[in-house]
Chains A and B, each alone.
Chain A
């Protein structure tokens, strides 16, 4: 048994060679798959807590953070830029939570305000940088759309690490997150620090969104945080199963999207991943046994026939 393990590792490591899969495809698939799984899991918690749009706000705020990080350090390494993006996203989400607690602003209005103001700051900063011809400022704007096809091994490793950590946190804190999402009044009355748990959840969403930026870009990563959970919800009535399914759907979307982009030239990878996720959502909405539109229509018809 023990001697068999090195052989297995060797086999898997050289799999790309004997499967004839190009190495870039493997790297991109691994990176995007990691994001897909984690976004599905974390996104499920956010959707249950009715904070699905927090991901959108985080993604748009991140642009300002990326520009500021570049301004402050002059460096373009991914961890530096993403660090700046994360800080900006956390600040924006903090403002969002505060707006909801201490003013009468409603959820959707508060999200729209935070999203557009921080995004505006980000665009202004990036435009200012590029128009001044700051060297190396080229490409900061592409955080909006991402360059999935150009993921390097280092990028994929970062994505995999953060995704794994986020999933672990979600699983460990699942009971607390479910409780607060379902009945925050009861949770508060039982002594749970609901505000702190909310901040943690929103922070996790921000981390996932930031890390997903190079993979899918700001506009598309929100889709990965929202679509797999909604699709998963159609198939199950239990929270742990929903998280698992959402992770799997995110993974499937990543694999299909990357595969399609590797086969057809001149097609950007990020959007294809989102299209794959949307297709899986459409299938779920139509065909899921309990909640799907088609099975429900069929049940109605057979009930009517039975009554007649």
Chain B
């Protein structure tokens, strides 16, 4: 019996005395497109950051393939939220994608021909091969998100963690990104996505976890996204629930 790909065990994260995440127990043992859904401030991004060691946990452990992160960082790829970057930084699209290969290169080695070829391939997979020499500030929102996706692809990881990759992205870029993620899942990789939009969540993800500082429910999408679960998670956002109820029902009807 092989170890689960990603496991959160009793994870608690608190800023000062305010708890952001509380006793999260979550296990993912198959490669799939996994969505983390919840209202604003539910701690979804924090969950990813805790997994990556970017925020300290006040309790619990996170393991990848049954081992702590330090043992297998190379196998974990990360696409952070878009706003964390300075868009005026003097790097081109190609430069950013190449950064995905740095961890494999190690200290002081420069990227060589192999790395550049890999970067070009990753750019092609997200449809950005034409803008490889453009400075990143001169891209549209969707293009910017695809650059970071390409960088993650260049990491050639087995588990991918993406933080709101589709926020503020035009519809066409959303399609492209989703196709890339689905292709990753089809090739046997786990793709965990913090997602903001319940409508598309119902359509895209194989399995989801509903988070509102605690884990409300987890499992296959159709089973989890019930009106009861949604009401427990999104308490008070009634119009949303109506719309969602309809979307979920529609999904159930199509086989």
A residues with CB within 8 A of B: 48, 172-173, 175-176, 178-179, 181-183, 185-186, 188-192, 233, 236-239, 242
Contacts and interface: CB of A to CB of B under 8 A. Distances in A.
B91 A189 contact: no
Interface string B88-116: 01111001100100110101101100000
Q: Which 6 A-B pairs have the closest CB atoms?
A: A191-B73, A190-B103, A189-B78, A237-B135, A189-B52, A237-B90
Nearest to A236: B90
B35 interface: no
Contacts of B74: 191
A238 B92 contact: yes
Contacts of A238: 90-92, 95
A212 B213 CA distance: 53
11 contacts: A175-B102, A175-B105, A176-B102, A182-B91, A185-B80, A186-B151, A190-B102, A190-B155, A192-B103, A238-B91, A239-B95
A124 B55 CA distance: 41
Nearest to A188: B54
B85 A182 contact: yes
A239 B103 contact: no
Chain A, interface SS category = helix
Contacts of B105: 175
B53 A188 contact: yes
Contacts of B91: 178, 182, 237-239
B86 interface: yes
B40 interface: no
Nearest to B96: A182
B84 interface: yes
A251 B54 CA distance: 40
Contacts of A173: 108
A242 B99 contact: no
A190 B135 contact: no
A228 to B, nearest CB: 15
B73 A190 contact: yes
A191 B103 contact: yes
Most A CB atoms within 10 A — which of B89, B90, B91, B95? B90
B108 A183 contact: no
B90 A242 contact: yes
B90 A190 contact: no
A189 B53 contact: yes
Interface of B: 52-54, 70, 73-74, 76, 78, 80, 84-86, 89-92, 95-96, 99, 102-103, 105, 107-108, 110-111, 135, 151, 155
A139 to B, nearest CB: 41
A187 to B, nearest CB: 8
Nearest to A183: B85
Given A188-B54, A189-B52, A183 B92 contact: no
Given A172-B108, A188-B53, A189-B54, A237 B92 contact: yes
Nearest to B79: A186
Contacts of B95: 238-239
Nearest to B78: A189
Nearest to B108: A172
B73 A183 contact: no
Contacts of A190: 73, 78, 102-103, 155
A104 B220 CA distance: 41
B156 to A, nearest CB: 12
A176 B108 CA distance: 8
A183 B54 contact: no
Given A172-B108, A175-B110, A183 B90 contact: no
A192 B103 CA distance: 8
Given A185-B54, A189-B73, 5 more contacts: A175-B105, A186-B151, A189-B80, A190-B102, A239-B95
Given A236-B90, A238-B95, A186 B78 contact: yes
A192 B108 CA distance: 12
A172 B84 CA distance: 26
A172 B70 CA distance: 25
A115 B54 CA distance: 30
A185 B84 contact: yes
Contacts of A178: 91, 99
Nearest to B98: A175
A183 B163 CA distance: 14
A179 B90 contact: no
B103 A183 contact: no
Nearest to A237: B135
Contacts of A181: 89
A170 B111 CA distance: 17
Contacts of A192: 102-103
Contacts of A185: 54, 78, 80, 84
Nearest to B84: A185
Most B CB atoms within 10 A — which of A179, A188, A190, A191? A190
Nearest to B135: A237
B102 A179 contact: yes
A237 B92 CA distance: 7
Contacts of A179: 99, 102
A60 B103 CA distance: 37
